[in-house]
Amino acid sequence: MGISTIKAVVQYVGTGYFGFQRQAAGRPTVQGALEDAIAALTGERVTVTGAGRTDAGVHAHGQVIHFRTASAIPVDRWPAALNSRLPRDIAVVAAEKVPDTFHARYHARSKVYRYTVWNSPVPSPFWRPFSWWVRHPLDVAAMREAAAPLVGRHDFAAFAATGSSARSTVRTVFSLRVEEEGDPTGGPGRLVHLWVEGDGFLYRMVRNVVGSLVEVGTGRAEPRWVEEVLRGRRRELAAPTAPPEGLTLWLVRY
């Protein structure tokens, strides 16, 4: 029986996990849950590789994984079979057989992240698990102005978490949009979504960018300040990191 490489799209709520990547025993991770589900189905201990190593508390709408298996399970049955073994906050939504050379992380052309802010004088129990509650009214136009200089190929050292092991802090951001959505109930709140697509991201880079854009949105900094932070290349120049619950790995392009 031959070995097959399976590519799958996975969604998860990251609240109960210490990120995607497997960690020390006893700490639940998304990779660990997926590998346990495959083992329960096939008896194999495989390694699941993800396109992005999402942090603790970060969600995924379109995480992509791959793994190699000797199982004879038809590829179209993998989602249902795995979902029957996975916890309710993780789901495999699609699967396909791919060439053995495929790599979920290294072959990705870009990743799309969405960060959501619940901007309201009152909290939302509904949005709390998936957003950052910011009470102060945000100036979305100022945030858009501040975001514009970040698009392109730059050294993002100022937005990399301290202690990052990346060999280079140069990354390309293809697009960075700030969109707003009114409260459908007619209440005083609104959702502010920050969409960013790039060829790769440094550790906590998206959350650090969001923290600085919100600093501008609340009026504590001028839009031009974000470009000055970028050019300064020092993490201490930027705003504090935005919390993880607002971040979702939305899509991976190949």
Tell me whether residue 155 is one of the annotated catalytic residues. no
**Residues near 240 by beta carbon (within 8 Å), at least 6 away in sequence:** 211
Q: Are 62 and 251 in contact (CB under 8 A)?
A: yes
Specify the 3-state DSSP secondary structure of 84: coil
Place of tokens 């960690």: 23
**DSSP characters over 6-73:** EEEEEEE-GGGSS-SS--STTS--HHHHHHHHHHHHHS-----EESS-PPTT-EEEEEEEEEEE----
Which one is catalytic: 55, 76, 139, 155?
55
Supply the residues annotated as catalytic: 55
